[in-house]
Amino acid sequence: TLHPLSSSLLGSGKDDVKLSPEPNRVTERVLERLFRCVLFPDSLRKPTISLKPDSRVFVREERPEISCSGNYPGSEFSLYRDGEFIRSQTAPGNSNTTTFTPSEIGAGNYWCRYNITIEGRVFVSPESERVGVSVKDSLRKPTISLKPDSRVFVGEESPEISCSGNYPGSEFSLYRDGESIGSQTAPGNSNTTTFTLSEIGAGNYWCRYNITIEGRVFVSPESERVRVSVWGKSESLDSLTHTLTLTHLRTCTHILTHTDTH
């Protein structure tokens, strides 16, 4: 009942407001407002909602942070997506903010609100603004291939090295032993680009790609490593051929000699 509160708030002097033994509804509303003013100097404001990273586009398996803030420390916050309740949690300590970390982000409109309990009464805030989130497929591990399909080349050869991903128009980067060789964009609606080196070098080759969606850059994993061996120039190749020929002749001579003795 509001009677004790009314007498303590309104006093007992000759200029005090006179109340009838049974306050009417208007008086009750006035007293309730006074009561709320004493305990709640500020009403529960509309909460703010934010995402980290600050984006509206994510890929599957990402776990962005969704933060909600109000104006009363220790409030209990509830998070919703497309009107469906996701979960609730209380702001820690004297903080008026809590952060939700979903196991996986889903597409939809996110919003939150909070409540605070004072002397058994629950006060609920308005709803926050809606934040629309879209979710794309993850960037898959690219594939790398060589043409001709070999792992051994001579120094003067210039094989083609192709890299493929799952997003058309991606920008691909090629590396050898961790150092960038070059970058180029897949043409048109293709998800493949081909690097043609002026001269092949020995080492481990790999590639990766990136795509920009609504201002945010997404980067793929690295492809498998392709180990390439390179023989020297033509002179070295001639020397190798000569050595192999001598070895072959020696082997044949050894076989013929043993055959004749028998």
Q: In terms of pLDDT, which residue wins out, 140 or 237?
A: 140
Same domain, 57 and 130: yes
What is residue 25's predicted lDDT score, i.e. its pLDDT?
67
Same domain, 101 and 159: no
The answer to whether residue 81 is domain-embedded is yes
The answer to whether residue 156 is domain-embedded is yes
Same domain, 96 and 172: no
26 touches 34 (CB < 8 A)? no
Split at pLDDT 50, 70, 90, the class of 26 is low
Average pLDDT of 95-112? 96
The answer to whether residue 54 is domain-embedded is yes
What is residue 232's predicted lDDT score, i.e. its pLDDT?
74
Same domain, 166 and 124: no
Residue 62: name the closest of 53, 71, 70 by CA.
53
What is residue 52's predicted lDDT score, i.e. its pLDDT?
96
How far is Cα 6 from Cα 243, in angstroms, rounded to an integer?
111
The answer to whether residue 175 is domain-embedded is yes
Same domain, 149 and 129: no
Task: Concatenate the DSSP letters of all residues of 139-168 into one string.
Answer: PPPPEEEEES--SEEETT---EEEEE-SST
- The structural domain count of the chain equals 2
pTM score of the predicted model: 0.67
What is residue 254's predicted lDDT score, i.e. its pLDDT?
42
Q: Among 136, 156, 189, give the residue marking a domain's end.
A: 136
**Average pLDDT score, the chain:** 83
What is residue 41's predicted lDDT score, i.e. its pLDDT?
53
Kindly give, in sequence order, each residue whose CB lies less than 8 Å from that of residue 54, ignoring residues fewer than 6 positions away: none
Domain that holds residue 74: 48-136
What is residue 157's predicted lDDT score, i.e. its pLDDT?
86
Same domain, 187 and 110: no
Same domain, 91 and 148: no
The answer to whether residue 6 is domain-embedded is no
What is residue 8's predicted lDDT score, i.e. its pLDDT?
40
Residue 182: name the closest of 194, 166, 169, 190 by CA.
194
Cis peptide before 168 (omega within 30 of 0): no
Residue 9 in tokens = 């708030």
- 242 strand-pairing partners: none
20 touches 7 (CB < 8 A)? no
How far is Cα 175 from Cα 184, in angstroms, rounded to an integer?
12
What is residue 31's predicted lDDT score, i.e. its pLDDT?
54
Same domain, 119 and 155: no
The answer to whether residue 119 is domain-embedded is yes
Q: In terms of pLDDT, which residue wins out, 24 or 165?
A: 165
The answer to whether residue 31 is domain-embedded is no
CATH number at residue 88: 2.60.40.10
Distances (CA, A) of 209 to 19, 160, 170, 220: 78, 17, 6, 6
Residue 81: name the closest of 94, 100, 54 by CA.
100
The answer to whether residue 199 is domain-embedded is yes
Same domain, 125 and 163: no
